[in-house]
Structure 1
Amino acid sequence: MTESPTFQIVQPAGSPVDFNISPLGTPVVTARVVHLFEQLGIQDVQFLPTRIASHPEPWFILNPTRVVKCIDDARSRHVDYFKPEDGLPKKVGTYRAVHGMRIDPTKVEGARIFRPWGWLVALIVSQDIKEALEQDQITGAKFIEV
């Protein structure tokens, strides 16, 4: 069986929209996104209430709870790992940089939303989530096939 494509969500520039990425890389979403994820029965995510001073409506931190070791180093344009000489012992063996990321879909194990092991700055969603976000006209998410 062929795996569905998966996509990384990338934050566009501009004013607040339904799907935002904070300066620290944290996804922050509106109640519309929470409701959609509930309708889809998505399990591997937590929604933590938060506030944005300039916007009184409810906001939520989207916290994906699943991490999958799936980055395909050979197919990615460029990967670089932390080494002992970098002086960050806790990071040795994790990704220092990933450009043109590609994943091995056989390692995704049916996950619908997750972060890739070693490169937690990326948020990856399945084809069905991407299509649902687009169909409900959730603003702010841009997708790159990985």
Structure 2
Amino acid sequence: MTRYFQLRDDVTIRGRWHLSDVLLPTGAEPLFDAGEPVRDSGPLRGTVSHTGSVLDFTLTSFNVPIATSSLAHAVSNIASSDLQCLPVEIAGQAGMMVLNAVRVVRCIDETRSEFVKWTKHDHRADLAGQYRQVTKLVLATDAIPADAHFFRVEGWLVALIVSEAVKEAMERVGCLGAKFLELPT
């Protein structure tokens, strides 16, 4: 059975850089957490909120995955249909890529996960029925297509999931900054 991991940013690394966001040439922020390809982005620019050591992998403040080109290539070799790799210029650092997950999978096992959903009585009644918070994410692996290797979770798009094959490829190339949380299935 395939194992899956939530891909996170290892914020415990001392002296590391922190990235705030990725911007289009117009200054607008593309939606890299919507699970859709970004079209005609033009040259992307990342902003650094705290200078420090450059990492192989990091998430911006808005959950956009950024990786070195070698790491992006390793992920793309396995998950090419799940992924859009876009070059991004970050403080003169060459060879950095946005890893835009273009696949979204409905796979939360609601019987074993722990979550809160928005209600019509909350200050965001327009989100009623959607996940407000997921404190324990359990995947329904039978709902995950066999060819899904790099995806976001429908209803909880902040969760970025990778297969065991992607995790192992990232570790082989070097993925300083990546943290893998194995998810129960």
TM-score, with normalisation over the residues of structure 1? 0.89
2:90 pairs with 1:52: yes
For residue 28 of structure 1, what is the amino acid of its counterpart?
I
Cα distance in structure 2, aligned partners of 1:41 and 1:115:
13
Structure 1 match to 2:152: 115
For the 8 Å contact 2:105–2:154, the answer to whether it is kept is yes
Structure 1 match to 2:34: none
For residue 173 of structure 2, what is the amino acid of its counterpart?
D
Cα distance in structure 2, aligned partners of 1:39 and 1:52:
24
Per-residue deviation, 1:131: 1.1
2:178 pairs with 1:141: yes
Which structure carries more relative contact order (alpha carbon 8 Å, separation 6+)?
1
Q: 1:75 aligns with which of 109, 112, 126?
A: 112
Percent identical residues? 35
**CA-to-aligned-CA distance 1:14-63 (integer Å, 9 cap, x gap):** 3131110001111111111222123335211101221211x421211111
In structure 2, runs of 5+ residues without a counterpart are 17-53
SS class of match (1:38)? helix
**CA-to-aligned-CA distance 1:81-137 (integer Å, 9 cap, x gap):** 011111324422211000121110000112111100111111001111111111222
SS class of match (1:60)? strand
2:123 pairs with 1:87: yes
Query: Number of residues paired by the alignment?
Result: 142
TM-score, with normalisation over the residues of structure 2? 0.71
Per-residue deviation, 1:10: 1.3
Cα distance in structure 2, aligned partners of 1:126 and 1:9:
10
Cα distance in structure 1, aligned partners of 2:7 and 2:76:
19
Structure 2 match to 1:30: 68
For residue 143 of structure 1, what is the amino acid of its counterpart?
F
In structure 1, runs of 5+ residues without a counterpart are none
2:3 pairs with 1:5: yes
Cα distance in structure 2, aligned partners of 1:114 and 1:60:
17
SS class of match (1:73)? coil
For residue 101 of structure 2, what is the amino acid of its counterpart?
P
Structure 2 match to 1:65: 102
Cα distance in structure 1, aligned partners of 2:59 and 2:137:
19
SS class of match (2:121)? helix
2:164 pairs with 1:127: yes
Q: 2:136 aligns with which of 96, 100, 122?
A: 100
For the 8 Å contact 2:115–2:132, the answer to whether it is kept is yes
